[in-house]
């Protein structure tokens, strides 16, 4: 009777170790994604859109979604200046999508660069990941922290003005006249 | 004199005490008011600092940029009036702080202790979105500094109180002196009246003396003529002679009376002689008895075998 119990315990311990080994890297990935998900809507107070569209604030995730359910949790119950946040997942973005902020993950149907081209000149704050073609705001990891770079030239094209406070926090700012500034 | 003046006259000390109390109460109230104003200004300045801080850290707070927040917090260290700073995130957790005493770790504690001391909190708001809270505690001024602020005013109050007290004492002394002077004036007036009376009496005496002198001369004429009559007609009718004798007696008595009047008015020099006092009293009692009338009886008690006294008879009899 005894050996099976010991075996069962050993098996359980082994299983736990295995699961831990598999889950741990996934958890290490998760905070960055969660932080990025939270940052997405936090950019909004520091950005001025040319005209208030009224209605809910549309936060779009275009193409590949790196956040998963995390972003749903983060956004739930949040408002921006009294406007509720509406989370929208899109495969492709165009000028009629009505997005205020768009995280562009890219997909086979519409690459990041293509999506950025599509909404150029429209009042959309485009956000991209570090390795892709940079949008107005591009996430970056510095010293283990999630930070971002800002492209003011694109922002100007889209008619957005970005608060100097936000510019001050960026790792680098690509100004309208093409120079790169490190705050 | 108005009612107020009368009141001041009689209740001077009460009035002075009232003024002193009023002065001290007013200065205390003013000091408290100034202190309140000063604290309010300190709080206002802290509030402004907190607002500036809140505005500055908004982006850093939203994007968890702890180094940037710490940089802003450290900048406030330069302000010696600020003893503690705390920055709280959206969830109410402490993100950055500095201070001699630790700041509350949760924003709820900050909001609960809002009224205590010179501590203020300001919400971090960006475009209508609450991102966190900034808490600033103002350093309490040390007691000597506070006292020094009111030292000048307190000194003035003390000096004014002292002056009022001294003035009140002076006024009391003045009133006492005045009363003394008034008493003296009254005494002098009484003395002057007495002097006038005595002067009047002196004048009367002098007049009496003058009259007595002339009267004496006339009496001398009357006595002389009566003596001549007795000598020239020694054997006249005895009844007639008795009339003359009684006239002579009356005239002599009148002369004695004038002598006394003269002595009284000091017109006659003193003429002391060895005198039988008992006999003199006997003579006087006869005279007084006749003057006073029959309704008053006079009894004299004289010691036997008295020595003669060296006096002016006229003076003794008067």
> d(Cα A111, Cα B73) in Å, to the nearest integer?
43
From A169's Cα to the closest Cα of chain B, the distance in A is 7
Distance set, CA B212 to CA B124, B158, B317 (Å): 127, 80, 17
Q: Which of A35, A38, A45, A173 to mutate to test the interface with B (most CBs of B within 10 A)?
A: A45
Is B70 touching A (CB cutoff 8 A)?
no
Cβ atoms B139, B80 nearer than 8 A: yes
Per-residue pLDDT at B81: 81
From B63's Cα to the closest Cα of chain A, the distance in A is 7
Is B128 touching A (CB cutoff 8 A)?
yes
Query: Does residue B309 register a pLDDT over 60?
Result: yes
Cβ atoms B157, B27 nearer than 8 A: yes
From A24's Cα to the closest Cα of chain B, the distance in A is 24
> d(Cα A71, Cα A76) in Å, to the nearest integer?
8
Chain B contacts of A35, Cβ < 8 Å? 64
Closest CA in chain A for residue B66: A145
From B56's Cα to the closest Cα of chain A, the distance in A is 7
Cβ atoms A99, A73 nearer than 8 A: no
Does the beta-carbon distance from B126 to A165 stay under 8 Å? yes
Does the beta-carbon distance from A46 to B65 stay under 8 Å? no
ipTM for the whole complex: 0.70
Backbone angles phi, psi at B15, to 5 degrees: -65, -45
Chain B contacts of A46, Cβ < 8 Å? 58-59, 62, 126-127
pLDDT tens-digit series, residues B244-270 = 999 999 999 898 888 877 776 665 667
Does the beta-carbon distance from A45 to B60 stay under 8 Å? no
Per-residue pLDDT at A131: 81
The sign of the torsion formed by the CA atoms of B4, B7, B12, B18 equals negative
Closest CA in chain A for residue B58: A165
pTM of the model: 0.57
Q: How many interface pairs between A and B have CB atoms less than 8 angstroms apart? A: 48
- Look over chain B and give the mean of its residue pLDDT values, rounded to a whole number: 84
pLDDT tens-digit series, residues A44-55 = 889 998 877 678
Chain A contacts of B68, Cβ < 8 Å? 168-169
Per-residue pLDDT at A104: 92
The sign of the torsion formed by the CA atoms of B89, B91, B92, B95 equals negative
Angle at A90 between CA A86 and CA A94, to 5 degrees: 100
> d(Cα A55, Cα A51) in Å, to the nearest integer?
12
Cβ atoms B313, B287 nearer than 8 A: no
- A163 closest CA partner among A39, A42, A44, A47: A47
- B90 closest CA partner among B136, B46, B129: B129
- B68 closest CA partner among A10, A3, A147: A147
pLDDT tens-digit series, residues B285-296 = 887 887 787 888
Chain B contacts of A82, Cβ < 8 Å? 128
Burial class (CB in 10 A: 0-12, 13-18, 19+), A156: middle
Is B62 touching A (CB cutoff 8 A)?
yes
From A62's Cα to the closest Cα of chain B, the distance in A is 23
% residues pLDDT > 70 (chain A) = 82
Closest CA in chain A for residue B69: A169
Cβ atoms B136, B114 nearer than 8 A: no
Does the beta-carbon distance from B129 to A81 stay under 8 Å? yes
Q: Note the helical H segments in chain B.
A: 3-10, 12-62, 66-75, 107-112, 143-232, 238-264, 277-292, 313-317
Per-residue pLDDT at B192: 96
Query: Does residue B147 register a pLDDT over 90?
Result: no
From A15's Cα to the closest Cα of chain B, the distance in A is 37
What is the arithmetic mean of pLDDT over B20-26? Answer: 89
> d(Cα B226, Cα B231) in Å, to the nearest integer?
9
Neighbours of A174 (CB within 10 A): 20
% residues pLDDT > 90 (chain B) = 15
> d(Cα A66, Cα A34) in Å, to the nearest integer?
9
Does the beta-carbon distance from A169 to B59 stay under 8 Å? yes
Q: What is the largest CA-CA distance in chain A?
A: 80
Per-residue pLDDT at A28: 41
Residues from A contacting B (CB-CB < 8 Å) are: 35, 39, 42, 44-46, 79-82, 145, 147-148, 163, 165-166, 168-169
From A101's Cα to the closest Cα of chain B, the distance in A is 16
Is B129 touching A (CB cutoff 8 A)?
yes
> d(Cα B202, Cα B208) in Å, to the nearest integer?
10
Q: Which of B62, B69, B72, B89 to mutate to test the interface with A (most CBs of A within 10 A)?
A: B62
- CB burial readout B168-207, b (16+ within 10 A) else e: beeeeeeeeeeeeeeeeeeeeeeeeeeeeeeeeeeeeeee
- pLDDT tens per residue across all 183 residues of chain A: 445 565 665 555 555 554 444 444 443 444 788 888 888 888 988 999 887 767 888 899 998 888 888 888 888 888 887 888 899 998 888 888 888 999 998 888 888 999 999 888 889 999 998 888 888 999 998 888 888 999 999 999 999 999 988 998 888 998 888 788 877
């Amino acid at each position: 009777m005894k050996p099976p119990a010991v075996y069962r315990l050993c098996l359980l311990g082994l299983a736990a170790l295995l699961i831990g080994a598999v889950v741990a890297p996934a958890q290490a990935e998760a905070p960055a994604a969660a932080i990025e998900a939270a940052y997405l809507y936090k950019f909004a107070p520091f950005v001025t859109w040319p005209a208030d569209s009224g209605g809910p604030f549309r936060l779009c995730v275009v193409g590949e979604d790196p956040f998963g359910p995390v972003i749903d949790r983060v956004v739930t119950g949040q408002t921006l200046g009294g406007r509720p946040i509406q989370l929208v997942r899109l495969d492709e973005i165009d000028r009629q999508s009505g997005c205020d902020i768009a995280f562009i993950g890219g997909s086979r149907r519409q690459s990041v660069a293509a999506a950025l081209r599509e909404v150029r000149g429209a009042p959309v704050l485009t956000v991209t990941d570090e390795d892709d073609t940079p949008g107005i705001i591009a996430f970056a990891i510095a010293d283990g922290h999630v930070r971002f770079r800002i492209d003011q030239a694109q922002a100007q094209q889209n008619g957005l003005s970005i608060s100097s406070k936000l510019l001050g926090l960026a790792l680098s700012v690509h100004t309208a006249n093409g120079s790169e500034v490190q705050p | 004199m108005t009612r107020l003046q009368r009141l001041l006259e009689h209740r001077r000390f009460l009035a002075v005490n009232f003024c002193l109390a009023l002065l001290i109460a007013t200065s205390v109230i003013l000091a408290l008011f100034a202190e309140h104003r000063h604290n309010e200004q300190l709080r206002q300045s802290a509030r402004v600092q907190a607002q500036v801080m809140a505005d500055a850290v908004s982006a850093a707070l939203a994007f968890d940029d702890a180094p940037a927040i710490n940089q802003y917090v450290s900048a406030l260290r330069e302000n010696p009036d600020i003893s503690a700073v705390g920055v709280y995130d959206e969830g109410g957790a402490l993100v950055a702080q500095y201070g001699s005493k630790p700041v509350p770790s949760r924003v709820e504690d900050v909001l609960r202790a809002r009224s205590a001391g010179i501590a203020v909190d300001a919400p971090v708001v960006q475009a209508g979105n609450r991102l966190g809270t900034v808490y600033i505690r103002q350093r309490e001024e040390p007691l000597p500094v506070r006292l020094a602020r009111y030292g000048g005013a307190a000194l003035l109050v003390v000096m004014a109180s002292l002056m009022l007290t001294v003035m009140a004492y002076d006024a009391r002394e003045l009133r006492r002196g005045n009363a003394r002077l008034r008493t003296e004036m009254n005494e002098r007036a009484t003395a002057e009246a007495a002097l006038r009376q005595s002067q009047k009496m002196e004048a009367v005496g002098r007049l009496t003396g003058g009259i007595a002198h002339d009267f004496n001369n006339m009496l001398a004429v009357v006595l002389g003529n009566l003596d001549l009559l007795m000598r020239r007609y020694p054997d006249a009718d005895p009844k007639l002679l008795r009339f003359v004798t009684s006239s002579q007696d009356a005239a002599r008595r009148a002369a004695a009376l004038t002598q006394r009047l003269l002595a009284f008015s000091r017109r006659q020099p003193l003429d002391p002689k060895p005198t039988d006092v008992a006999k003199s009293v006997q003579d006087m009692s006869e005279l007084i008895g006749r003057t006073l009338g029959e309704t008053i009886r006079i009894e004299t008690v004289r010691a036997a075998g008295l020595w003669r006294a060296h006096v002016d008879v006229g003076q003794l009899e008067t």
